[in-house]
Structure 1
């Protein structure tokens, strides 16, 4: 904080300088201890640290699912994990990847725009060789994919995209689709070179072969859901998903439970000796019940519906008229009126 000198202090300093007791060089400005962050206006930061962290968590799930999928498909040890999540320009991403390589253009429906999944050539040819019955050691030669090799990689990438949908499920119901596969980065211009992208780098190991998979998502594509990429939304979504899952399980279990449904015509108090004396053809007179009155349809021991008697074919049936909410309301009003009269 800057200290303001009084007039007397200023006069004393001027007197000391004029008298030669103090040199002007002795009065040096205090060192600026503020932390200065360099900001490049050509590369503005689009993602906050919290959003980068959330994207990393999402793709850690994607990495685990992909590890399982690759191991099952290739019948070999596989390991995928998130190495880094960075934001950079699309031009910098294109320049950082080799040529030729495997570039899968991904449609990010329902989000607008595309993303790119880039697979290192060493990983690509290791997958192809393993699926063709080889050891999976890959090949040192770098060449563009043949039609057969491209078809094999398409099938593998489609499997991987299913894992991507599951990893993004708590943020959006993503339905990624494979557009086309390119081998030259210059033919995969999905956004202008200066646009910012988020790059998820996945370190991949198949047997003894190591390489990288890069998932590049333009800011323009992810912008509509950028507000959902926060820790608070992420964890609240996880809780909601768990609650909905429990609720669906509970509903599924309850749907198989049997319960009595009884159409009640009326009630009457009868001595036990009269009940024991009842025979076929006897008539029981119900009080406060008239022909044409509706019945109460009970679910368990609760009155739920009003119904009318009828016949379907040779079977006795009832037709549901309405719920008993209005009936319960009328009974409550009658009971209240009686209490007031008392």
Structure 2
């Protein structure tokens, strides 16, 4: 995609104005679009992402869109549609130029990957969410404006939930711990990489009720560079298959479980006393337990009785001998 393909918000407004005044006709634009079928390629700025990697990012963020759709639908109690519109690569400067001012821009990291990522929400969408959460019908204000402190707190909560969905979607490729660092409203103050660095832009078409807008995720190439080999459909399929159950995986789990430490207690007996009696206890007093000398003792594993045993001595140490296995309901298969 060349720099001329990306339009700023002012350029979009000028174009819409020209269409409405009749300076430019929609028919002329269609004819020009049909005539130009050659995509400009700049050899000074080669593509960083292959078609296969773009396809993988598309599928990955389809999962993110589904998870985010589920969260917003339940949280807002409204009809929400979110789907991936496109995945493109361009320079960071081109992306920033295309954003309106004011915008709602969340800057977060993808640890252990280095660098920052941008989650940009169209003001119409975020104000619709805010209005809905405050009990309104979900309509944005007539004129775009910056967020108030209370609104920013709400946006931060929504973004953190979105990052949870983002983390879940990325599990298929790499385990990350995204953390929101800041929220900005002016794109010009958001500089996460140099202007000419390549980034991948995932655009989500979003509709909440009757309000439509875009959600953009801007991921710099430098962030994804360490895991570029994993951003392939081959790795995607392989990772999916590897997560299926196999006998060797079950054996590995059993080996780990067999080395797990658990508390084990032998209960000598029980007795019920009054608080007054407990307060009057002194050194030398004898408490008579309900257990008889010939009775088996309870072996407590965790908080449940699992065995019965006989007390005794092994060498110079106190010991018990298992005399019975206690079977209780569904615990019989443990």
TM-score by length of 1: 0.63
Offset, 1:142: 0.6
For 2:247 and 2:103, the matched residues in 1 are separated by 41
Is it true that 1:52 corresponds to 2:54 in the alignment?
A: yes
Which of 230, 247, 253 lines up with 1:228 in the alignment?
230
Q: Report how many aligned residue pairs link the two structures.
A: 229
Cross-structure match for 2:157: 155
Task: Note the residue ranges of structure 2 that are not aligned, 5 or more in a row.
Answer: 1-37, 258-312, 323-334
Q: What aligned pairs does 1:132-151 form with structure 2 within 5 A after superposition?
A: 132-151=134-153
Distance 1:132 1:88, change over 3 A: same
TM-score by length of 2: 0.64
Cross-structure match for 1:273: none
Is it true that 1:313 corresponds to 2:315 in the alignment?
A: no
Alpha-carbon contact 1:85-1:201 (below 8 Å) kept: yes
For 1:42 and 1:135, the matched residues in 2 are separated by 50
Q: Secondary structure at the match of 1:139?
A: coil
For 1:37 and 1:137, the matched residues in 2 are separated by 39
Offset, 1:37: 7.9
Post-superposition CA distance 1:245-294 (Å, at most 9, x none) = 99569958xx8xxxxxxxxxxxxxxxxxxxxxxxxxxxxxxxxxxxxxxx
**Structure of larger gyration radius:** 1
Which of 190, 193, 202 lines up with 1:191 in the alignment?
193
Alpha-carbon contact 1:104-1:178 (below 8 Å) kept: yes
Cross-structure match for 1:102: 104
Cross-structure match for 1:65: 67
Post-superposition CA distance 1:19-74 (Å, at most 9, x none) = xxxxxxxxxxxxxxxxx985313432000000000000000000000000001111
Post-superposition CA distance 1:75-121 (Å, at most 9, x none) = 11111100000000101100111110100001111100001000000
Cross-structure match for 2:94: 92
Which of 167, 181, 184 lines up with 1:182 in the alignment?
184
Two-structure CA RMSD over aligned residues (Å): 2.6
Offset, 1:163: 0.5
Q: What aligned pairs does 1:1-342 form with structure 2 within 5 A after superposition?
A: 39-243=41-245, 247=249, 310=314, 313=318, 315-316=320-321
Offset, 1:310: 3.8
Distance 1:250 1:142, change over 3 A: same
Alpha-carbon contact 1:310-1:316 (below 8 Å) kept: no
Which 4+ residue blocks in structure 1 deviate beyond 6 angstroms? Answer: none
